Amino acid sequence: MPSYKAPVDDFEFLMFDVLEIEKNNDLPGYAELDKATVHDVLEGAGKFMAEVLQPLNQSGDEEGCHFENGVVRTPKGFKEAYEQYCEAGWNRLGVPEQFGGAGLPIILTFAVAEMGSSANQAFAMYPGLTGAAYSALIATGAPWMKEHIVPKMVGGEWAGTMCLTEPHCGTDLRLMKTKAVEQDDGTYKLSGTKIFISGGDQDLTKNIIHMVIAKIPDENGKIHDDLSTVNFFMVPKFLVSEDGKMGARNGVSTGSIEKKMGIKANATAVLNFDEATAWRLGPKPQPKAAGGDKKSSSAGMKGMFGMMNAARLGVGVQGVAVSEVAYQNAAAYAKERLVGRALTGPKNPDGPADPLIVHPDVRRMLLFARTAAQGGRSLATWISYLLGVASSKRSDQERQEAADLADLLTPVIKAFCTDMGFEAANASMQCFGGHGYIRDHGMEQFVRDSRINQTYEGANGVQALDLVGRKLARNGGRAPMTFFKVVNEFLSANADEAMKPFTAPVQTGLARLQESTMWLAQNGLKNPDNAGAASVDYLRMFGIVVVGYLWARQAKAAQAKLAQKAGNPAFYEAKLVSARFWMERMMPDTAALAERIKAGADGLMTLEAANF
């Protein structure tokens, strides 16, 4: 059976030694983040995830969710664990105190979310999606929803979902068919089918608040194939009155749950809405003039996009989480399993063979998974710090730059870290050889579970299109220029010989990224297919460079701690080795990626569809 131990030391290193959060107590919630408080939260969360959630991960996968007579049941032990999870308050750390939360900043809640996903991703998704749903209600809901519904979701009594995808459309919302017809009392009757709804039904909570997008028909009852009438709705499983009392069953039913490759302990449901009572979120949209903007006019859609962006960040953290747990188990196995002899001579002469860890290729796989986990964690921690700056009272320029960077990096963390998570899980499984395919070791579950992270909340190819097609050019390219400035300032300030092994490769990678950005600006406008063809390679290059920059920052912090003779020297030495691996083994990939980007679209688009 696999095991998990929360990397508390790494979280604390990133927060206090790299980002120096103690010097940022002007940020919302940071004044309470002293070392003792952070340590207690991380230690407590790590202990709970390892002792309560992790033991249910493999059994939950083997049993899966059950769907019988329209009712979903979660695997054995999940309901009891969920009650303990909510009683301990792990589901409400970052919620404002006015809604029953602890009001802690996202830099700490991201850490706890990663621990939960490492221990048991299927379980962690239930409260995770609920958090995204109640955050949307806080942003766009009516006062009675915030007063009566949000606290019950925060406390764990009720859950929440995101209902976006339909059988005939996923990303292309223009093709949606779910409709919502306004009633005399201001509510709507919502009808349609949504699929791939994680946590769409379960037996953990008394009610589920579905957050649904649907189209409002025109005065003739017609649904248009554009975005102008797409709106955001709250649809509870059981009706809720404005005083918060739960009533009769709403017109929402579970048609089935998917028999799927991974995260089997989380019910991925088909939900049928049959004139379900729905409440529109946000002000009523204004009628569009003929020939006007086809984008949605619903202010509530801002809440939907906010919910989706939060989910994209959360999925990126899930990619980091699987890298970590897969690495931990592979490293433990490689140190114990005896296979062959070291190429430079026996390292275990009294034994029949040397441990796997002596072989260079095994170390390559382990260091890849290690640096994917720790590098991805540094990216998540930096983004959470930027979000704190963006919501602070600092100067307009500081807040704008932080918001621009967080927005730019959202598709990067979602796609790059989930790609790395899947690759790290595969590399870690490979360390086990044939034993990696055996369920007892749990590695094959990590591979299956991690694969979906690359697809949901927008497939990674869509994230790449978002980065290239929207994020780069927005506001005249302000965000990428800010990123280039931030990295160049760090490189200029750390040009000493001790840092050269870490800064020189980042400088090379950054130059390739800037050159590729200019190529896209020139050639993507001429032929949009050039941007589409380059987008995935460009996002991967961006991920390698931004994580390389953060590895350089980790190296600088580790060098400082070693010079001070503070802390555990082995931890900091390992940081330097890991940073070196990224520079030597990952950063060179930017050269090949740059060539692929500049190849353009012709080689992809020439072959006629009939010849595929």
- Do 115 and 164 belong together in one domain? no
Residue 294 domain flag: no
Q: What is the mean pLDDT of residues 429-442?
A: 96
- Do 115 and 182 belong together in one domain? no
The pTM score is 0.95
Given this model, what pLDDT does residue 309 score? 86
What is the domain-level CATH number for residue 232? Answer: 2.40.110.20
Given this model, what pLDDT does residue 294 score? 54
- Do 102 and 169 belong together in one domain? no
DSSP letters for 181-226: EE-TTS-EEEEEEEEEEETSS-SSSSEEEEEEEEEPP-TTSPPPSS
User: Which tokens in the block code for residue 129?
Assistant: 């999606």
- Do 273 and 228 belong together in one domain? yes
Which pLDDT band, with edges at 50, 70 and 90, does 287 fall under?
low
Indicate if 20 belongs to the active site. Answer: no
Write out pLDDT tens, residues 178-188. 999 999 999 99
Distance (Å, rounded) from C-alpha 235 to C-alpha 124? 23
Q: How far is CA 228 from CA 173, 197, 239, 469, in A?
A: 11, 24, 28, 21
Q: What is the identity of the amino acid at 204?
A: L
Distance (Å, rounded) from C-alpha 10 to C-alpha 13? 5
Residue 317 domain flag: no
- Do 128 and 214 belong together in one domain? no
Question: Of the ranges 107-111, 215-219, 571-575, which one carries the lowest mean pLDDT score?
Answer: 215-219
Given this model, what pLDDT does residue 297 score? 52
Given this model, what pLDDT does residue 304 score? 74
Domain enclosing residue 258, as ranges: 158-285
- Do 135 and 273 belong together in one domain? no
- Do 488 and 583 belong together in one domain? yes
Q: What is the identity of the amino acid at 453?
A: N
User: Which tokens in the block code for residue 521?
Assistant: 């600006």
- Do 106 and 188 belong together in one domain? no
Of 256, 285, 314, which one is at a domain's C-terminal end?
A: 285
Residue 146 domain flag: no
- High-pLDDT (> 90) share of the chain, %: 90
DSSP code, position 169: B
- Do 126 and 188 belong together in one domain? no
- Do 170 and 106 belong together in one domain? no
- Which of 419, 422, 426, 425 lies closest to 539, judged by CA? 419
Query: Where does 254-359 have alpha helices with state H?
Result: 300-336
- Do 71 and 194 belong together in one domain? no
- Do 170 and 260 belong together in one domain? yes
How many domains does the chain divide into? 3
> Which of the pair, 148 or 287, is modelled with greater confidence?
148
Given this model, what pLDDT does residue 372 score? 98
Which pLDDT band, with edges at 50, 70 and 90, does 306 fall under?
confident
What is the domain-level CATH number for residue 100? Answer: 1.10.540.10
Q: What is the mean pLDDT of residues 556-574?
A: 96
Residue 339 domain flag: no
Which position among 87, 166, 457, 489 bears the catalytic label? 457
Whether the per-residue pLDDT at 325 is higher than 70: the answer is yes
Whether the per-residue pLDDT at 41 is higher than 70: the answer is yes
Residue 569 domain flag: yes
Given this model, what pLDDT does residue 51 score? 98
Would you call 380 helix, strand, or coil by DSSP? Answer: helix
Distance (Å, rounded) from C-alpha 447 to C-alpha 425? 5
Given this model, what pLDDT does residue 285 score? 63
Write out pLDDT tens, residues 87-99. 999 999 999 999 9
Q: What is the identity of the amino acid at 577?
A: V
Label residue 420 exposed, middle or buried (CB < 10 Å: 0-12, 13-18, 19+): buried
- Give the number of other CB atoms < 10 A from CB of residue 424: 32
Whether the per-residue pLDDT at 290 is higher than 60: the answer is no
Which pLDDT band, with edges at 50, 70 and 90, does 225 fall under?
confident
Whether the per-residue pLDDT at 248 is higher than 90: the answer is yes
Of 140, 172, 189, which one is at a domain's C-terminal end?
A: 140
Whether the per-residue pLDDT at 288 is higher than 70: the answer is no
Whether the per-residue pLDDT at 310 is higher than 90: the answer is no
Given this model, what pLDDT does residue 520 score? 96
Residue 88 domain flag: yes
Write out pLDDT tens, residues 566-605. 999 999 999 999 999 999 999 999 999 999 999 999 999 9
User: Which tokens in the block code for residue 546?
Assistant: 């931004």
Q: What is the mean pLDDT of residues 244-268?
A: 96
Residue 425 domain flag: no
Which pLDDT band, with edges at 50, 70 and 90, does 298 fall under?
low
Q: What is the mean pLDDT of residues 486-495?
A: 97
Query: How many CA atoms within 13 Å lie on the side-chain side of 480?
Result: 26
Distance (Å, rounded) from C-alpha 420 to C-alpha 270? 30
Of 268, 285, 302, which one is at a domain's C-terminal end?
A: 285
Residue 611 domain flag: no
Residue keyed to tokens 């569809």: 609
Question: Of the ranges 99-113, 152-166, 291-305, 558-572, which one carries the lowest mean pLDDT score?
Answer: 291-305
Given this model, what pLDDT does residue 219 score? 85
Which pLDDT band, with edges at 50, 70 and 90, does 170 fall under?
confident
Phi, psi of 215 (to 5 degrees): -100, 145
Whether the per-residue pLDDT at 158 is higher than 80: the answer is yes
Mean pLDDT of the chain: 94
- Give the number of other CB atoms < 10 A from CB of residue 253: 16
Q: Report the length, in residues, of the chain.
A: 612
Q: What is the mean pLDDT of residues 107-135?
A: 97
